[in-house]
Structure 1
Amino acid sequence: MSLPQSHPPVGHIHGKGKVCPVAGEIHGFCPPQPGDSRAPCPALNAMANHGYISRDGKKLTAQAIVRGLKACYGLSSPLAYFLAYVGFLFIGKFGRSLDLYEIGVHRRFGVEHDASLVHHDTRKGHKYAPIEIDSKLVETLIRDVHPSRKEIDASSDPEEKFLLNYEDVARARVRREAECRPIDAVHAEIARGEMAIILGVWETKSNNKTGIPVDHFRRWISEERLPDGWKPDHVQGLRDVRARSTNIRNAVKLLRQQALISAAGDAKSRASSYSHSSGSAGGEA
């Protein structure tokens, strides 16, 4: 059922099922209600918000996560099993069930990591990462998207959608890893893999750019909500994710190299300017 915009917020209990009493359908969107459990992970939270796993986000098994990943995002069985069971192993829940908040445990061998694109780092002395989404970080992330010239030229068309690709993701990763605490190689790989997966979910090709529509991405990462009426139309496997993750890693490496070259050039220019000014001052004396 739908409610008018003027209707006051409805608080209700989700329980362990997948059907929301307000959304009225198994995969209708409903944000978390008081008492529901959520993680610092938009992919899993969106699955709960749409009923691909229990809407309360509690007592989830690895197998339930596998089924949700396949049905919600179109992941292949090997990829879904790998993500779910390795994730449970990392947080010490292998063979047991968990509540979504437990995925946010902050430790060396966990899946949660610093330098999230839209969440702040875990506060000192806290066991779990924050799940609150910072709207300012969302807007900064969207500004990291550099549309192609053809996208810009067509931007007056209301149907035109800017695309976010692996280079845009790399730009955001470099920025956030510079702003936050350093992350190790394993967590850097996890961070790249998260985005590599979503780049495959909504992959779209324009005349000269392949990526995902920015409006889809913004809704997903800020509201933890899927596009209205969308269903996966292809299967994404381990090889696909590995290739996109490699593209992001290479783009990150290139951006950092360019930054070093630029910094070296600036330093050389400053030194040259100082040398000239010193020489001029000496001549005048």
Structure 2
Amino acid sequence: MSLPPSHPAIDVHKHTGMGCPVVGKGHEWCPSQPDDSRSPCPALNTLANHGYIARDGKNLSVFDLVSGLKACYNLSTPLAIFLSIGGFVLLRRFWNTDLHDIGRHGRIEHDASLVHRDTPEGEKYAPIDISDRLVDQLIVDAKTGDEEGEGPEAGDRRTLMDASDVARARVRREKESPPLGAKHAEIARGEMAIILGVWETKAGSNVGVPVEWMREWIGHERLPKDWKPTHIQGLLDVVKRAKSIRKAMDEQRKAEAAVVDEKAKH
């Protein structure tokens, strides 16, 4: 994992527990070290990088994940429990797990990730390296200029990512990847629905997640420096947002199909 350009170099060291010999026992960010376990999930990797769960990403219980999700992202108890227990069920794990286990292809992990390459055929575990190309494409999907004050000329700070932007990115990635089953398509929408809810903010009449926050989090698995929890993110809100993403994806596909049909007529 690469450090942001502004971050001072950190010597290789060993993580044990929720503390770090370099940044201490608080929640300062430190990237994963060679012996650490990580997954294709930026949300969980961020928990480890900030010490909300064991920084080495190993031997994690359901209770560890529930506590970390609540403390870091301010998820409600029902939502944190649903995600943690549901994850263990999908992984078919009855005891503690390492973050690496979450990358087992076809369990929770799925193709068409917004920032990771698809799992090569025959591989049991998904790639965990973040693709800079895919991150850049995700940001471009938000910079359409559809909303007032946004667009490439506005820069990351003024551009907000909302459900329609996520839908645009999901449709693009799902066209590039093997077909997703219903379960994994729902997981993919739910992942982004959670983030849209946790980081939602306003800029004038626009509502969404600042693109600079998304780039920092999804690109470096690090919490945005100027973000602080402002509300508790609940399960029902995530369900509602996931439905909004699905609806926007359906509309995007219909619009693309209409363009193809129109071209075929001429």
Q: Which residue of 2 aligns with 1:250?
A: 247
Helix, strand or coil at the partner of 1:247: helix
Name the residue aligned to 1:132.
Answer: 129
1:188 equivalent in alignment to 2:185: yes
The number of aligned residues is 260
Report the counterpart of residue 151 of structure 1 in structure 2: 149
Q: Deviations over 1:125-184 (max 9, x none)?
A: 11100101110111011100124453249966x895210000000000000000011101
Aligned equivalents of 1:50 and 1:204: distance in 2? 22
Q: For residues 245 and 154 of structure 1, what CA distance do their matches in structure 2 show?
A: 26
2:229 pairs with 1:221: no
Tell me the SS of whatever aligns to 1:188: helix
Corresponding residue for 1:12? 13
Q: Give ranges in structure 1 of 5+ residues lacking alignment.
A: 270-285
Residue 71 (structure 1) aligns with? 71
The one-letter amino acid paired with 1:65 is L
CA shift for structure 1 position 23: 1.4
Aligned CA distance change for structure 1 residues 106 and 212 (closer, same or farther; 3 Å): same
* 3-state SS, counterpart of residue 150 of structure 1: coil
The residue that corresponds to 1:141 in the other structure is 138
2:91 counterpart letter in structure 1: I
Shift of 1:61: 0.3
Conservation of the 8 A alpha-carbon contact between 1:119 and 1:131: yes
TM-score, normalising length: structure 2:
0.93
Question: Following the alignment from structure 1 to structure 2, what is the Cα–Cα distance between the partners of residues 154 and 174?
Answer: 21
Give 1:25 shift: 4.1
Counting only pairs closer than 5 Å after superposition, residues 82-231 of structure 1 correspond to structure 2 as: 82-94=82-94, 96-107=95-106, 110-145=107-142, 146-152=144-150, 160-228=157-225, 230-231=227-228
Q: State the shift of 1:90 in Å.
A: 0.5
1:185 Cα shift? Answer: 0.9
Match status 1:265 vs 2:262: yes
* CA separation of 1:154 and 1:119: change in aligned 2, threshold 3 A: closer
Amino acid across the alignment from 1:18: M
Runs of 4+ in 1 over 2 A off after TM superposition: 5-9, 146-150, 152-156, 158-161
Over 3 Å counting, the alpha-carbon distance change for 1:136 and 1:6 in structure 2 is closer
- CA gap of 1:143–1:229, structure 2 versus 1, over 3 A, is closer
Once the two structures are TM-superposed, the CA of residue 59 in structure 1 deviates from its matched residue by 0.2
- Which letter maps to 1:24? G
Other-structure match for 2:24 = 24
Note the alpha carbon deviations across 1:180-232, whole angstroms, 9 max, x for none: 11101110000000000000111112333210110001010010000125332
Give the alignment's Cα RMSD to 1 decimal: 1.9
What percentage of aligned pairs have identical amino acids? Answer: 52
Cα distance between partner residues in 1 of 2:108 and 2:243? 19
SS in 2 for 1:211: strand
Separation in 2 of the partners of 1:72 and 1:232? 8
The 3 A distance-change label for structure 1 pair 159 and 128 is closer
Tell me which moved more, 211-220 or 222-231.
222-231
What SS class does the counterpart of residue 209 from structure 2 fall into? strand
Q: 1:7 to 1:186 in 2, by over 3 A?
A: closer
Decide whether the 8 Å contact of 1:154 with 1:160 is kept in 2.
no
Partner amino acid, structure 2, of 1:60: L
Deviation at 1:33, TM superposition (A): 0.5
